[in-house]
Structure 1
Amino acid sequence: MVESLQRRLPQKVSTAPADLEIHSKDEGYPAHHPPMAVVYAEGLEDIQTTLAWAREHRIPVVPFGAGTSIEGQVIPQGPALSLDLSRMNRVLEVRPEDFLAVVEPGVTRKALNEALKGTGLFFPVDPGADASLGGMAATNASGTTTVRYGGMRQNVLALQVVLANGEVLELGRGVRKTSAGYDLKDLFIGSEGTLGIITRLTLKLHPIPEHIHTLRVFFENLNDTAQAAYAVMASGLPVARLELVDEIGIKAINRYLGRSYPEKPVLFLEFHSSTRAALEAESHLALELMREAGAVSIDAARTQEERTAQWEARHQSYWALVNLFPGKEYLSTDTAVPISKMPDLVAYSSRLLRELGLTGNILGHVGDGNFHTLVVCEPGDPRAEEFSLRLVEHALALGGTCTGEHGVGLRKKKYLPKEHGPALAWMRQIKQLFDPQNLLNPGKIFD
């Protein structure tokens, strides 16, 4: 059957075992399932040809970018094509005067920022991994700078999308605001490839801040660290990044990178200011707040080299933890709550780990109420799943969500009925409207 698709798309359809293996998994979900073939699309027509073949043979299509998702979004659930968009990697247009760029979905965030050098602008959304921008839009990715610049939904102005029937839609406009009709663009952001294939993005760019100041602040315990983070947000300071790493994370960093940081919970803070005078005043207030919150050690950085060194621990924390517990499985949670409830959820997470006898690392983007717990476990350990369930239930009770940025994929869909109630049935109807044959990434978000 695949041979007929290979004839339609010569040199673009692979059944090589290595290609199937790469497209059978993502970065965090434990189960693997290879597709029946991988299509390396190089343009809009390739995608339409693939979808036409899929309709004829009733074979599902799973979009694939860089494979950096962690909730199983790119893993086929049966015989399926993996539609790899990494060859659609051109920056089509940069318009500095309009603060926007137009890109294909396979462009990665690092490649875009490299292309922006010399413009005085940058694209701020940073999920950590060098993910593709199409994949970041499909999962509504965010990251360390979300507290100031927002996630993908706030930074995508327009999309070109191909529907399951092959129709091409232009959604949104290259403007900062519009009130013209239903906002279908935002419907596709975060839809995880279940409604359509993103083929072009118009993105909002931001001026590179002229004055940046960062702090690394250690505390005696996790509760003080979380409360200090809330105090910073409540102060109204122009926080660009506010990240937390607990003592296990710092221990892992010390071993992984050969450092000697205090093995205590730490906050990483970064401020982007308009003037030197404003930066000095903001830095002074931040230091006062940290001391009042019980900081035991504060390191400031002003040069790029100092900032890079300071952020090293946060950026390397995931791989450091994986290295600290070789041969183990990891369950990565991703809850978010209203900012005032963040200290409560952090404390609950820590207590729950102890109660269940689990080892886990708490880290994340506490400035926007979102944090992760990386739970270390043996394969199939039911305690890890119990931890995730109880943490989500507590987050929902606090008015939060089961996922702040990872997305739903396979792992989080069991929590959606409780979070969304009757609205979930309307989501199913939207899926049926756009994809009546259920060809686009079936089994993700809901069964």
Structure 2
Amino acid sequence: MTADQAKVLEVLPIGMFEDLPENMHRVETPKNFSVILCDEHANLSRDALITLRAAARHDLFPVYWFGANPPSFADAVFPEISMQTLQLAYRDAQEQYRRIGQVAAPHNDEDRGALNLLGYLVTRDIDAVPAWHPGSRSSVTYARLRPDLASRSLLSQLHRQGMLERTFWRKTHMCRKCSSARLNVAEHCPECRSSNLVETDIVHHFSCGHQGPQNAFQLTAGGRMICPSCEQMLNHFGVDYDKPGRVELCQNCQTVTEEPEVNFECLDCETLTPSDEAPQHDWYQYSLTSLGRETVISGRLPVPGLETALGSFEPSKDYATFVALLDNGLSTAQRYGRPFGVCAMRFDQGQDDDHQPRLVNAASRATLIKLLREILRDSDFLYAEGEQIVFVFPETDAGQLDAIIRRIEDGLRKNMTDQPECRFEDWSDRTVRDILRGIRDVR
């Protein structure tokens, strides 16, 4: 018996695979398979992969493609189906499962999605690299990631938790109605919203001072312009008239404008979104950190802190932004003698049976965010790390700060069923250095 025959792979063929080598066993129904073999007509949509994953022996199963038009996430691509190419796929699958075998099983289902994504990056030895994808509503895809594992929000969460590092790639704009990024940029008339605009010269008649679009000046049989204001003939450029600029003329309503509206027209729902009101997405390339690799081996995500729950909450800032805003706000308040409130809120739930910090549960965190949305003003901001939140309240004196703290405490008592223990400390009299030292104590 050869080495290749030593272990039989359970394979799920999708397409015209009539004969398989002896070391591959055909699975007739999607159940307990180890490998997927696809011909060029196979459909591996995200929904299809989610269904297949539920029936696979391992969530990180390899996919092999035979023929044209392979997906970017295929583990290997072969030009045709033959015994030789099937054996090559078999050998690659053996190596893939050697690497997959080093990935620990998740300790709980809640961490499964994050650990699958990290495990895929480790076993395929790749980064999560964004690429343009016009067929997608987001216009961007992480092509090398299997679609059922790829998640922009999950990548962002793993970055916040220190398991991925990222590099900025592109910024995209979205439709304000349906969030599609498939947009056409167009100039529109500010009066009738038509995009039927024509650029034309402005003509300035020196003698009478009239100024207007060139098409408003009638032409003589000899091609000379006649001023619509004084009806004099304009003979010589630079002597009788000049052209100081250009404007946009609406062919629909004849409105003349120097600054037409710039809008994004959605190709999916046809909604017009002003360019300065369009929501934006920042896209990043992600790569594993040492913590990310250690997490894959252990099968347990690091204990998440409040920074994960508050990551998309607008007043919540990353560390660098928080430090910059704090330094600027405090120095401005000191310079002009203005009140400036700072306080820290810390949850203390003790430890669980594994000596890990006991965390505020997901429902309580959602309640906390809802409460803070009601209380915080547009000028307020915060930094969350572990189970501590540092709030900054510009233009807030001691009495006002005490009232805000009481509102938060009362809201927690009324709305949180498990009543997590928390305490507040007034840091308003601290320097920036001391505030940051207090943050570092829990970092």
Tell me the TM-score normalised to structure 1 length: 0.25
Tell me the TM-score normalised to structure 2 length: 0.25
Larger helix proportion of the pair: 1
Larger Rg, first or second structure (1 or 2): 2
| Structure with bigger RCO (C-alpha 8 Å, 6+ apart) | 1
